[in-house]
Structure 1
């Protein structure tokens, strides 16, 4: 069968046999792809370090019986190098890769928006100097936008249960609680037991991250960032019905 070419980000690698690896990529045109890189673990492998997690690569693949086979790989941008030097950035990046894989459950189903979000998130995360942003803020922005692309955007300006708009006007209702299972903010009438009561500044931060308002996000206080991260992590893992193991390390960073 004829091979195909694509570019993608390496999400994960697994050992196969004595010298091979299974490479999981999120690609531009073909979504999530799992393919074998033969001989990649040998010292003299022509692939070298090109197929490591965080690397944006241009690959040539050939269809196989159960897994495709990578026959060529060229590095476009190695995001792993700058991230490996900074533990908070590395753990945030690892959580991004794991989330990207979880949000693309079907192999070879195009997921261009998820791919572009991942590339943008890794690029922002790897920035240094004056342009650098707090890793956890970058991660939370990525998680919120990825959830939105997958159809799980949290309701932050209206009640996620009854749809009432938030606000102090005659038609608006006070949205004082965040219910993960309900899909976001809820009014007093719809508030379920156990719902969180985030500060208004925390909700404003979530909204800023979802919209890409970095000026607003960077003005937020530390306590509201911490509360935001907890809500985003809980919301993500409830919708995925699976824990993101990497987030445990991020929370300890």
Structure 2
């Protein structure tokens, strides 16, 4: 659905709260990711008052059902019901919280424009936050899996099994970030990386959601895969995701 659909005076949408900003003495600007409308910025009036019922609902990581009145620049949230309180679990775990914050920032970067993949991006973010909130997987690997899948949904799918230049089936020993994945010996350009074979295997598992393989990886392998994923993300976004600097790796 295009942004022109905002022509309606009032509309309902699900949304994940990406961030909030103070406005005046009692209001906040809420940035939501909607599966229909992409990034929506709307004012929530009075939510900073202790008497407000919306204050705890419209917080980062929360999935809500919102009733919104359209405006020329900013919209106004007049009602919001909590669907999934992911933030309650994430704020109690610093590693999960920082991983989730990097997800929210990335989601906003990837969807803050007209995009055919908004619905897919929403589902990916929703699933990743739910996985973080449940626990059971190391938060850094949940983040890396989300980042690789989100980039793939945006049209930048990496390849960790076939040479990105000639298509030769791997395993291959080098990765070239500008080219988008592994390269064979004959196609390898200068400046390519040479991670461990275990790291390349882990990157493929993260992209495919093979959690049995992901959970079996050791800390050095996870760390190297995380660095490559962050570099690949920065290459395509053309600027750093600031929240990644705070992510704790185990």
> Structure 2 length as normaliser, TM-score?
0.92
Per the alignment, residue 221 of structure 2 pairs with 224
- The residue aligned with 2:4 is none
Instruction: Kindly indicate whether the alpha-carbon contact (under 8 Å) linking 2:99 and 2:247 is maintained by their aligned counterparts in 1.
Output: yes
Name 1:134's counterpart in structure 2: 138
1:142 is displaced (CA, Å) by 0.6
8 Å Cα contact 2:27/2:44 also seen in 1: yes
CA shift for structure 1 position 50: 0.9
1:123 aligns with 2:130: yes
**Deviating 4+ runs (over 3 angstroms):** 107-110
CA distance in 1, matches of 2:240, 2:177: 14
| Structure 1 residue 211 corresponds to structure 2 residue 208 | yes
Task: Choose the corresponding residue for 1:248, options 203, 227, 245.
Answer: 245
Partner Cα distance (2:46, 2:115) in 1: 24
Alpha-carbon separation, structure 1, partners of 2:76 and 2:168: 52
User: For 1:73-152, what aligned pairs fall within 5 Å after superposition?
Assistant: 73-106=80-113, 111-128=118-135, 132-152=136-156
2:60 counterpart SS class: coil
Conserved? CA contact 1:180–1:195, under 8 Å: yes
Among residues 32, 55, 58, which one is paired with 2:62 in the alignment? 55
Aligned to 1:12: 19
**Are the equivalent residues in 2 in contact too, given 1:10–1:51 (CA < 8 A)?**
yes
Task: Please tell me whether residue 234 in structure 1 is matched to residue 247 in structure 2.
Answer: no
**Number of equivalent positions:** 243
Tell me how far 1:159 sits from its aligned partner. Answer: 1.6
Label 1:109 to 1:62 Cα distance change in 2 as closer, same or farther (>3 A): farther
Alignment of 1:145-224 (within 5 A): 145-167=149-171, 175-224=172-221
For structure 2, the 5+ residue unaligned runs are 1-7
**How far has the Cα of 1:15 moved from its partner?**
1.6
CA distance in 2, matches of 1:227, 1:55: 31
Q: Secondary structure at the match of 1:136?
A: helix
- Distance in 2 (alpha carbons) for counterparts of 1:90 and 1:212: 21
1:107 CA drift (Å): 6.1
Deviation at 1:69, TM superposition (A): 0.8
Residue 228 of structure 1 and its aligned partner are, at CA, apart by 0.6
Unmatched 5+ stretches in structure 1:
168-174
